[in-house]
Amino acid sequence: RSQVPFLTVKLMQIKWIIITILILLSRPITATAGPEVDDNGDIFDTFTLYWENDIFSGTDRDYTNGLKMTWSTPFLEDPKDSKLPGWTYSILRHIPFGYDEKSERSLSITLGQNIYTPQDTESYALVVDDRPYAGHMYIGAAIHTRTENHKHTWELNLGIVGPDSHADDLQEWLHEQTGSDPANGWDNQLKNEATLDVFFETKWRLLRKRVTTGTGFDLITHLGGRVGNVAIYANTGLEMRYGWHLPDNFGICTIRGGCEIQPAFNGNGNRRKNSLYLFASTEGRAVAHDIFLDGNTFRDSHHVDKEPLVGDLIVGFIFNIGRITSSYSYIFRTRQFKDHGTSPEYGAISISFSF
């Protein structure tokens, strides 16, 4: 059996509802300037697809698959050019770090799904000493502001954890297509629970140096947090990039809230130069709550004893050619709960296209 056609229809319906609402709200604001920003009323000019999976590490456990689609507007300063909906400026004026007359602003919307399984996926019975089966489907909206060396992001996510996330259906279909063994314990997954989470993250460029003509390196650090019934944590990290024609953005984005946008445009609509660079990034989180380990918030469910401190090491490369930006990352993660076996590892691919 296959539930993916139904799931695909549901995802597309949600996506187009969000886009339609945002376009209707934004119609009073259109572009009047900018060398490469078309005056056609379209506010979202960049689409990014993210895919993360432990197939790159040869495993099938823990955080085993993530898919995310993001639509974003360009970073522009002048409200007449930026095309942001008028209501966004009311929000910006009332949130910390949200409004600065000298900052450029962008809006993004997101649709995604994450899948989690224990290591023993052959058993039909509950695996009591390993993480629960869980899926999370969500939609999100984020406001981004930036200056030359700073970037701030506020994001709101709404979603569902449990059978209605259809994570089991998608994984079953993917395993059928790839000839992989099925995961048999989805009857023990977390129960349905609506989710609401707020993210904040700020990034700043500490250093930027030219090495030779066209090549250079920079250091970017970040600090942020998440509050909601999916997770509560504070996070911080540091990224180093080295390569040819480094863009003026703020580093790699994986599937996590607060890091949503990979436009192929610089500010004022100017297209970036073709580029190729390597990066290494660290991420640390102090975790107070994680629904995928602690279990359902309002109902009894399977859970494990989580580790309060979790760290990631991310390495990879990114290239930009014309309208397309693509990245490959490999993530090493520390153990997330007591008696966790081998530390999780997985790969990530993203591709952005600007219209």
Q: In tens digits, what is the pLDDT along the chain, a chain of 355 residues?
A: 444 455 555 555 554 555 554 444 444 433 333 334 344 445 778 899 999 999 888 888 899 999 999 988 887 766 555 556 666 666 766 677 666 667 888 888 999 999 999 999 999 999 999 999 999 999 998 888 888 889 999 999 999 999 999 999 999 988 888 778 889 999 999 999 999 999 999 999 999 999 998 899 999 999 999 999 999 999 999 999 999 999 888 888 888 776 765 554 444 444 567 899 999 999 999 999 999 999 999 899 999 999 999 999 999 999 989 888 899 999 999 999 998 878 999 999 999 888 7
Q: What is residue 269's DSSP assignment?
A: G
Longest dimension (CA), the chain: 62
Q: What is residue 191's DSSP assignment?
A: P
- Backbone phi, then psi, for 171, in 5-degree steps? -65, -40
Distance of CA 281 to the CA centre of its chain: 15
Measuring CA to CA, which residue among 343, 215, 342 is closest to residue 278? Answer: 215
User: Which alpha helices (H) appear in 100-258, and where do they start and end?
Assistant: 167-178
**Alpha-carbon gap, residue 245 to 210, rounded angstroms:** 10
Q: What predicted TM-score, i.e. pTM, was given to this entire model?
A: 0.84
